[in-house]
Structure 1
């Protein structure tokens, strides 16, 4: 098949030829592999020249480096490295019949062995890659946690749509508990959206406690029915005559509250600072202890009635008197009058002085002719 192994790097005079049984010389002229097939052997570390040399040694009755150069029309600087590569890969091995010569190993054995070795190498590389991917994910999470701690503990969110999106996002991340203080009567559309979100939250087993204003429950039968539905699903709802501001606490890790309680369109602030969260939690628990469970007879719409002083203040308001004038007429400080008006508004669920006047007219506490 080939001359002595020493002849691999020598000239033609040092290249004795060894014959073997196999295909005829005409068979050596065949090229059974396509160009694409040849390129695929690169996965085994066989370049085109090495593959052509290997193919020729398999198909030729006899061969030598000189014959390979002539048949393949390549120089010695191409054939010699190709033979060395085939020897290194075990595709050319020393002949046991003629000392100092090489013979090709058939592809069924030689190439199959290389494929299996390559397959093992790739599987090992895949396992290492999988381990690297897991380690990379751990590093990403470590960096994300670090970045989260480094971020500002206060996040400003502007625009009602963005606020609604962030609230939905926070509630979607809740795993154990959501505490809510509601100080505004939601619109029917907002109530329906909240109903869907709250239902999903409760179905996930998240403990939910809500504080709402007595006045809103008395004023809106739809709102009262919505809250009763939540109670039926497992929520705890309490009512209170007054509440300071709206807020939502999620898992004692984040809270959201209005940037300006008097301006719903001013956006919201998301709080993550542990000390602030703890303070808000304590505030909620204090309000919760001061509330009473939803469902008492007092929660029926139109149940609240003003006392004599409250009715007098309502009538002064209906006549268009300013707070300062009302304070003088009833013998109270300006601050006390404003606090009383605020309490009346919350009891009736009104969001403005005008709305308060309309409700009082509807209840018959203020004559329409008195309103200016």
Structure 2
């Protein structure tokens, strides 16, 4: 077996409590144990004092004086710590050795896995777990030499995820890899995303935003594409079939052409960006999309999207989605505006 049936737990050694630390400090300062004075000055009753003395004695931090066994003296804590932690250190070394052994065994399976791929189809590969997907992306990024295309739906990026991506993206850009990323317009309202884009753009990366995106996609060197696994899992499907990868790159290029250069909402004008987002929501309402689909298409949380929908219907005086679409069309709200980000790119 690759992993033992039971993982040996490392027993944590006993350690002194705050009360025992205070008592040890008192004995060290006074050179010997005086129960009456110690109890009085430390505010302990005799039962608590006796328990602390017993614990410190058991740990080996207090020992009877050679000349007067009735008195206790402090012992060098470094010597005691060495004795107490010896078994723990041995257990850690044992588990580290087992960890290296397990990793070596799994690494030995890599060749068999590659052999299986060579005998079968390598055009499509399903990776079920998020940690495995992350490892596969990191490996593909390390092997990328020319270009990475990314579509990242959603307006909010977690700071921890952005920080992890920074090192990987910086390394790729330093090798001369061209990086282009599509975000939703809502990302321009997200502080961490703005800071990340500003940092990586200075290194040569390119970013654009759009009202709607086709979904999550990462393509390395136009040879390997990652798309989400179907369902609510965090898995991914790796695509290497040249025609499919080429098609996905064409989809990306079309969206890239129609997208606007990334900038923060303040630079574009908060009111203008908000109106553009509302215009997109109105168009999706008129098309009959449900709240969940609208939220996903524009990169908002469902709660935020529903608030926008309620505000729009109230401002139009509409009592139904169909009526909202009719009223929006009558007022010309479904037409592209000259001030929209799409118009700014000349798309």
Give the TM-score normalised by structure 2. 0.49
Larger radius of gyration: 1
Give the TM-score normalised by structure 1. 0.46
